[in-house]
Amino acid sequence: MDKRRILAAALTAVMLLGMLPAALAAEPQPTEAADELGITLLKTAGALNSVRETKISLEISAPVNETPVAVEFVMDATSSLFSSGDEIMIQSWAEEIRGAMADKNVYAGLTVFANDAKTVYEMSQLTAESTFDYSLGEEMLWLAGHTGTNLQAGIRAGLADLEKAPDTIPQANRYLVLITDGGSFWWLDDAGNPANDTYNDGTRLQNNDAAEGGYESLTDLTALLGQTVSAQPAAYTAAGDEALADVVGQIKTSGALTNFEKGVYFAAKELDKVTEAGVRLITVRYPYYADEEGLSALTTLAGQLMDYAERKSVFTASPASLEETAAELESVMDQIYGGGVNVVVPAGSTITDVIGKDEDYDFDLSIKSKEIPALADFALKIGGDAPMEGQLDENNQITFADGSTLTYYPEAEGQDERFVLTLGQDIHRSERVSLTYTARLAERDTSRGEHYVYPNVEAYLTLSDTGESYLFPRPRLGYTISGGGSGGGGGDTVIDENDTPLGPLPELNMADHFAYIIGRDDGLVHPEASITRAEVATIFFRMLTEDSRAQLWTTTNPYSDVAAEAWYNNAVSTLTTSGVIMGKPGNVFDPDAPITRAEFATIAVRFFGGNYEGEDQFTDIAGHWANKYINRAAVLGLINGKGDGTFDPNADITRAEAMAIVNRTLGRKPDADHMLPNMITWEDNLDESKWYYADVQEATNSHDFEVESGADGLYEVWTGLLQVRDWAALEREWSESNSSSNPGDVVSDVVTEPEAGEGTAADGGQIETET
């Protein structure tokens, strides 16, 4: 993938204004690598069919794991914000926060403040069982003994609790959410103790000096921050019955600051420390006594402090009332979790694809709707939603159901044929985007021999927030002219000349946890025995999503040893066409042969796409044909080594090892402590101390589940058992012709990979030996 800074403004303007094709002029600039995005861009092209058409898929795959986030909520719990009885709202807000953020890899803390601060829920990971709450009775007792408002103390305590989040969470993923009206008349002295100016007998002035002082205005915040203010509290000597009036007079005469001014000053200084630490500030503000007669000077300065906080904030909210705060907090949490760190491609981003062309070949977009009105020209799929199909209208545009738009620009003078898709929604982690269409090789070199063509000049993703662009890989197709001479006729034969999957990247069903392994006739599951290539193909085939299986379905293959009536034919044929599995030299698949660890790792990786560049993850794979696949599988967390730094790539994989890799590929998180007592068990898998015990149980039991989070990460809790699916009956529904009974011992599908020296095969194509 490559990253480029392009003339994004011009391109975006074209898309937004719906200008005519001739108006498109912006071109990309040179690029650089884009791994920092944390996403995989993939472009695949299926083998050319009899009319020289290829099915093309552009895909964006985001990582499955949600980004860890740490959030500290700092709430003003004083009477300036809460009237008597309103304090219960803090309790409801805490419940709202827990409900929205539980089990999303979020760490949270809750700090409240009065004249001092108290962290009532220390920073920890939120789960459905977390007790993230505000104990009203206990905290009311604490508040009764801490009258006053010390915003500085709240910010400092909240920041300190935020620092307790795991070191793996970067500062950019740490948030401090400040909920306050900006009023503060306490601060912290040099020793970190709550401070407030006093009478000479030690009695606190509280906020009386400012609130009762008849001030028309207090010091402007900008001017205030230009001063150097001592944190040590002053003690005023007052005589007579009008002590407060005497002190106020002394303050005004000497030009000293009121408690309110000092409290606001030190709160602002503490806000500086938040942003200096790299923490992202979010402000939820309220007006400070805006309607209270005689307090306009305080309201103004408090408002200035909130303005100051908002200028430092990445997001702000201003609920009109306490009752509306829950809704505002929902927006805050969406900003942090949904609309923030877990958005990998923001709405408004574009995918541009320039259709393939060179001196001796030319691809054209196949506009199917012009041939058969019922056919779609493009299909867009986002996440788990059903594909959205679209036909180009008279303006060569499509508007999809989610608001995404696509504009097609035919070839014109000075402009290559292309289309531009503008995404109508944010793309989050764990989601996959795919756009499929068909292109036809309209012009080609017809001389005898082998020829290679690219179905696109280039394709790139442009992010709407940065204007930077990232290249999709460029697939290559091959064909041979087996007869005729230069300019002559002759038949075309498709060659699969690289190891990029030829069809759309297959999608696995990660939502349903169906069993995919059954025991053998002896009633055992044989975890340490080998597993065949046909069995592996069948496992992965049946674990495809319904949509993906239907999209990729075929019953033909190039192998001489995979008959149409073989029980594994549909699986092998479909996954070969998709590019997930490959044959061996001599046009054979060798279905009954055991599969090696290298072959199995390669198959699993092909469901994710992407490439690997870097040092080897194991010491014994240098120069191995599957080197890049093994390394990629290790980085993705799909495989483990032998514990001594080796992988042993040529060893036959055991059934237990295969089940563990399939489980990881499907995103499953089995945990022996959270299964069900009435599950299917096996006499040769009763030892829970075996490393593979939980993986075998996961593979052989269909079940409902919930995902929980613990100290060691995510794990499954089984909530109910399901009947094992009748895969043979289902496959009869999938296919018009009946398959023979399955003599194997798998309940789901499998995929295989080339051995050393193996070649790759495409439908009806030739096989070339890998080196």
- pLDDT attached to residue 747: 40
Higher confidence at residue 475 or residue 690?
690
Rounded CA separation 397/406 (Å): 6
Q: Give residue 706's Cα distance to chain centre.
A: 19
Contacts of residue 638, Cβ cutoff 8 Å, sequence gap at least 6? 601, 604, 605, 661, 664, 665
Q: Residue 75: pLDDT above 70?
A: yes
In a domain, 400, yes or no: yes
Same domain, residue pair 324 and 367: no
- pLDDT attached to residue 555: 84
Q: Residue 422: pLDDT above 80?
A: yes
In a domain, 522, yes or no: no
- Number of residues that make up the chain: 771
Same domain, residue pair 28 and 160: no
- Return the percentage of the chain with pLDDT > 90, whole number: 36
Of 323, 341, 359, the last residue of a domain is: 341
Same domain, residue pair 326 and 191: yes
Contacts of residue 294, Cβ cutoff 8 Å, sequence gap at least 6? 211, 214
- Residue 46 buriedness (CB in 10 A; 0-12 / 13-18 / 19+): buried
Dump strand ranges (E) for 286-431: 313-317, 343-345, 350-355, 357-358, 361-365, 378-382, 388-390, 397-399, 405-409, 418-422, 427-428
Band of residue 134 on the pLDDT scale cut at 50, 70, 90: low
Q: Give residue 380's Cα distance to chain centre.
A: 19
pLDDT digits (tens, 9 = 90+) for 438-462: 999 989 888 877 788 999 999 999 9
Same domain, residue pair 279 and 369: no
- pLDDT attached to residue 493: 46
Q: What is the mean pLDDT of residues 274-303?
A: 84
What H or E segment, with its residue span, contains residue 144? helix 136-144
pLDDT digits (tens, 9 = 90+) for 301-333: 999 999 999 999 988 877 655 556 655 666 676
In a domain, 614, yes or no: no
Same domain, residue pair 678 and 744: yes
- pLDDT attached to residue 212: 87
- pLDDT attached to residue 400: 94
In a domain, 521, yes or no: no
Same domain, residue pair 104 and 132: yes
Which CATH number belongs to the domain containing residue 456 in this structure? 2.60.40
- pLDDT attached to residue 409: 95
Band of residue 90 on the pLDDT scale cut at 50, 70, 90: low
Rounded CA separation 732/612 (Å): 39
Q: Work out whether strand 702-710 and strand 713-722 pair parallel, antiparallel, or are unpaired.
A: antiparallel
DSSP designation for 523: S
Q: Strand 117-125's sheet: what is its strand order? A: 117-125, 106-113, 69-76, 174-180, 280-285, 313-317
Q: Work out whether strand 280-285 and strand 313-317 pair parallel, antiparallel, or are unpaired.
A: parallel
Higher confidence at residue 622 or residue 495?
622
In a domain, 204, yes or no: yes
- pLDDT attached to residue 696: 95
Domain that holds residue 688: 533-595+652-765
- pLDDT attached to residue 418: 95
Contacts of residue 575, Cβ cutoff 8 Å, sequence gap at least 6? 506, 537, 540, 541, 552, 581, 749, 751
Which CATH number belongs to the domain containing residue 322 in this structure? 3.40.50.410
Q: Quick check: 431 and 471 in contact, CB under 8 A?
A: no
Of 308, 324, 341, the last residue of a domain is: 341
Token look-up 């299909």 returns: 379
| Residue 717 CB coordination number (10 Å) | 16
In a domain, 440, yes or no: yes
In a domain, 740, yes or no: yes
Question: 269: which 2 tokens?
Answer: 């200084």
Greatest distance between any 2 Cα atoms in the chain: 118
Same domain, residue pair 587 and 482: no
Same domain, residue pair 707 and 729: yes
Same domain, residue pair 375 and 337: no
Same domain, residue pair 142 and 272: yes
Q: Residue 31: pLDDT above 70?
A: no
Band of residue 268 on the pLDDT scale cut at 50, 70, 90: very high
Say which amino acid occupies 28.
P
Q: Name the least confident of 30-44, 476-490, 582-596.
A: 476-490
pLDDT digits (tens, 9 = 90+) for 698-752: 999 999 998 887 777 788 999 999 887 777 777 776 664 333 333 334 443 332 3
Q: pTM of whole model > 0.85?
A: no
In a domain, 600, yes or no: no
| Residue 17 CB coordination number (10 Å) | 9
Of 435, 458, 488, the last residue of a domain is: 488
Most confident by average pLDDT, 155-159, 209-213, 389-393: 155-159
Same domain, residue pair 361 and 282: no
| 3-class secondary-structure state, position 70 | strand
Same domain, residue pair 18 and 91: no
- pLDDT attached to residue 165: 92
Q: Residue 614: pLDDT above 60?
A: yes
Band of residue 495 on the pLDDT scale cut at 50, 70, 90: very low
Contacts of residue 17, Cβ cutoff 8 Å, sequence gap at least 6? none
Band of residue 38 on the pLDDT scale cut at 50, 70, 90: low
Q: Residue 185: pLDDT above 50?
A: yes
- pLDDT attached to residue 33: 38
Q: Name the least confident of 72-81, 86-95, 115-124, 735-744.
A: 735-744
Looking at the structure of the chain, the number of domains it has is 3
Q: Residue 335: pLDDT above 80?
A: no
Q: Quick check: 596 and 649 in contact, CB under 8 A?
A: yes
| Residue 322 CB coordination number (10 Å) | 15
- pLDDT attached to residue 289: 72
Contacts of residue 623, Cβ cutoff 8 Å, sequence gap at least 6? none
Q: What is the mean pLDDT of the chain?
A: 79
